Amino acid sequence: MAHPHRFGLGLRKPHYADFLEAAAPVPVDFVEVISENFMVPGGRPRDILRRVRERHPVALHGVSMSVGSADGVDRDYLQRLRALVDAVEPLFVSDHLCWTRFGDFQSHDLLPLPYTEEALRTVCDNVDAAQTALGRTMLIENPSSYLAFDRADMTEWAFLDALCARTGCELLLDVNNIFVSATNHGFDAHAYLAGIPAARVRQIHLAGHSRGETLLIDTHDKPVPDPVWALYAEALARVGPVATMIERDDAIPPLAELLAELDHARAIAALRVAA
Amino acid sequence: MRLAALQADFGRWLRAECPDAATRLGGGAGLDVYLNNYRSQLVAALQSSFPQLQRWLGETAFLAAAARHVEASPPSAWTLDAYGEDFPATIAALYPDDPECAELARIEWALAAAFTTPDLAPLSAESLGEVQWETARFAFMPTLAMLPVTSNAAALWQSLVDGTVPPAVQRLPAPGAVLLWRDGFNPSFRTIEQAEATAILQLEAGMQFGALCTALADAHGEAGSAAIVGGWLGAWLRDGLLAALR
């Protein structure tokens, strides 16, 4: 089934006034928020989300579900997220292919998984539990990573393909993360795009990165670079119309700059449709 | 290596830079990236939660305290926003002779916590028209926080927010408390004396309003106690601190 092209932005504090107080709604098809920032009992954050939701469809993007935890997902976390889902009726609910928690330790970072059969079973069990608790299909995002484990049984894209097949989950494809991880680990980004289950991709993230001493770092503090735009065009050719958004988390520019980047995504998508 | 063992090792690396764990994980520059991300994110969370404390201590001292806290107190809550909860205790241990530092940190944390408390309607003055005062029991808003203080930390916090020259650090003549709550969407606070703090704790514990007045009358006389309690009650209603009659 074909999905519509949609173009959105992540909601960040410097842009609250643009989204809430301008006479005309910001020209986006959806807004993505970080779920955890709004999984609170009340106060201004929930009021802001309610008002944004009155103007735009909202996607919930999480960073702490930890679907890769060997000791399972946190039921209390899922209950909090379910309450937010029920209140927002989001376009998508997503989190990352990673782990952030083990036992009582919360790293609050997106830590890498070994792509083994054991890890696949763990992630499938956790995604099943999450989808049951949330009463809906989740989108799982490919992470940037800085460490690859020697003992992997499969590639990241084969892991995602199997995850989708076993759990029915869908994908949030972060094109910048593919570029960063491909560069860091020396795999072929084109093979990655060819290997993912294209029909399961519902959303795309576009972002920038930084160059560390030996590795690319997924910093989300720069405009989308040309190689990522090129990979985006290639991804669109593979997955077809899809919801696309610019993800900027640091060095956040005026909203107009991000809207201009989003227009660039629209132009690339229009060219793909024409082709 | 099984997944659980790998994740336990990764935790040892992040928490304690354990070299054996790093070896088992395969080593390499990537582990340093994750270690740097982990530490810098926690320090940034503390900076975000305690901006006035950072102004008060100065950046160098604050970052040293933050590094100490990151090393001693790994995060365990589901949200990064909760990471600073124990930071005032770290500050208290680092500055035992300067209680205003930890009190400033506690006030700053409680105000941030009040920011996202549940949206509840307080008891209105109009609803007290038919109340039987002698036997009335009050419930305070569950979002009300009360912190013991021995210094003028609340005044220091306010001057830091306002960008004015902070007053000299002072010990209060007697220990008091700071009440903190959410007024609309904005956290609010005021300093109270120990007698009012005690009264709030007694009422919270179920004491009847009449019994509170009687207890105060022993020290202040009937008219005096009525004036004192009436003043407190008016302020609690004005600030929206009462939740219900129970």
Q: Quick one: pLDDT band at residue B78, thresholds 50, 70, 90?
A: very high
Nearest to A123 by CA among A142, A149, A107: A142
Out of B42, B76, B117, the one facing A43 most closely (by C-beta) is B117
Is A209 part of a structural domain of the chain?
A: yes
Instruction: For A229-244, write each residue's pLDDT tens digit.
Output: 999 999 999 999 999 9
Contact yes or no for A146 and B30 at CB 8 A: yes
Q: A138: Cβ–Cβ under 8 A, 6 or more apart, which residues?
A: A93, A94, A95, A127, A130, A131, A169, A170
Is the same domain home to B20 and B73? yes
Average pLDDT value for residue range B129-157: 93
Q: How many domains does chain A have?
A: 1
User: Is there a domain that residue B112 lies in?
Assistant: no
Among A71, A106, A109, beta carbon nearest to B4: A71
Same domain, B61 and B171: no
Tell me what pLDDT residue A1 has: 54
- What mean pLDDT, rounded, does chain B reach? 94
Cα separations (Å) of B154 from A226, B49, B165, B166? 51, 16, 14, 11
Percent of chain A, pLDDT > 70?
99
Instruction: Give the integer Cα–Cα distance in Å for A217 and A210.
Output: 5
Q: Minimal CA–CA distance to A25: which of A46, A43, A9?
A: A9
For the residues B158-178, what does the mean pLDDT come to? 95
Output DSSP code: residue A220: -
Asked if residue A109 lies in contact with residue B36, where contact means CB atoms within 8 angstroms, the answer is: no
Interface of A with B in 108-167 (CB under 8 A): 108-109, 111-114, 116, 118-119, 122, 145-151
The confidence score (pLDDT) of residue B158 equals 95
Percent of chain B at pLDDT above 70? Answer: 100
pLDDT of residue B165: 94
Question: Domain residues for B128?
Answer: 120-246
Q: What angle do CA B56, B90, B21 make, to 5 degrees?
A: 125
Structure tokens given for A195: 């290997």
H or E element in which residue B140 lies:
strand B138-140
CB-based contact B3 A151, cutoff 8 Å: no
**Is A165 part of a structural domain of the chain?**
yes
Interface contact flag, B30 A122, Cβ < 8 Å: no
We report the CATH number of the domain holding residue A64 as 3.20.20.150
> Which DSSP helix (H) or strand (E) runs through A46?
helix A44-55
Please name the residue of chain A whose CA is at the shortest distance from the CA of residue B182.
Answer: A43
The domain spanning residue B141 has which CATH number? 3.90.930
The angle formed by the CA atoms of residues A156, A162 and A164, to the nearest 5 degrees, is 105
Per-residue pLDDT, A260: 97
Domains contained in chain B, number:
2
In a domain, A111, yes or no: yes
Whether residues B19 and B82 share a domain: the answer is: yes
Residue B128: per-residue pLDDT: 87
If asked whether residues B137 and B219 sit together in one domain, one would say: yes
Q: Count A/B contacts: CB-CB distance under 8 Å.
A: 122
B53 and B140 housed in the same domain: no
Structure tokens at A153: 């049984």
Using CA atoms, how far residue A212 sits from A113, A125, A180, A263, in Å, is: 22, 35, 11, 29
Q: What does each C-alpha distance from A157 to A18, A194, A260, B120 come to in angstroms?
A: 38, 9, 31, 48
- Whether residues B76 and A47 touch (CB distance < 8 A) is answered with no
Residue of chain B whose alpha carbon sits nearest to that of A43: B116
Q: Which of B33, B75, B120 sits opposite A146 (nearest CB)?
A: B33
Indicate the SS3 state at residue B3: helix
> Distance between CA A260 and CA B4 in Å, rounded?
45
Which candidate from B6, B25, B118 shows the least CB-CB separation from A42? Answer: B118
Question: Is a pLDDT exceeding 90 seen at residue B63?
Answer: yes
In this structure, the answer to whether residues B166 and B126 fall within a common structural domain is yes
**pLDDT of B205 above 90:** yes
Residue of B180, B181, B165, B174 whose CA lies nearest to B195: B174
What average pLDDT does range B11-26 have in this prediction?
97
pLDDT in tens, chain A (275 residues): 567 889 999 999 999 999 999 999 999 999 999 999 999 999 999 999 999 999 999 999 999 999 999 999 999 999 999 999 999 999 999 999 999 999 999 999 999 999 999 999 999 999 999 999 999 999 999 999 999 898 899 999 999 999 999 999 999 999 999 999 999 999 999 999 999 999 999 999 999 999 998 999 999 999 999 999 999 999 999 999 999 999 999 999 999 999 999 999 999 999 887 76
pLDDT on residue A2? 67
* Interchain contact A1–B (C-beta under 8 A): no
Among B33, B71, B80, which would you mutate to test the A interface (most chain A Cβ atoms within 10 Å of its Cβ)?
B33
In this structure, how many other beta carbons lie within 10 angstroms of the beta carbon of residue A149? 16
Q: What ipTM score was computed for the predicted complex, to two decimals?
A: 0.94
| d(C-alpha A90, C-alpha A59), whole Å | 5
- From A4's Cα to the closest Cα of chain B, the distance in A is 33
Query: Domain of A132?
Result: 11-274
Q: Is residue B44 located within the same domain as residue B135?
A: no
Which residues, numbered 127 to 166 in chain B, qualify as contacts with chain A under a Cβ-Cβ cut-off of 8 Å?
A: none
**Which 181-240 residues of chain B touch chain A by CB within 8 A?**
182, 185
Give Rg (Cα) of chain A.
18
CA triple B32-B34-B40, angle to 5 deg:
100
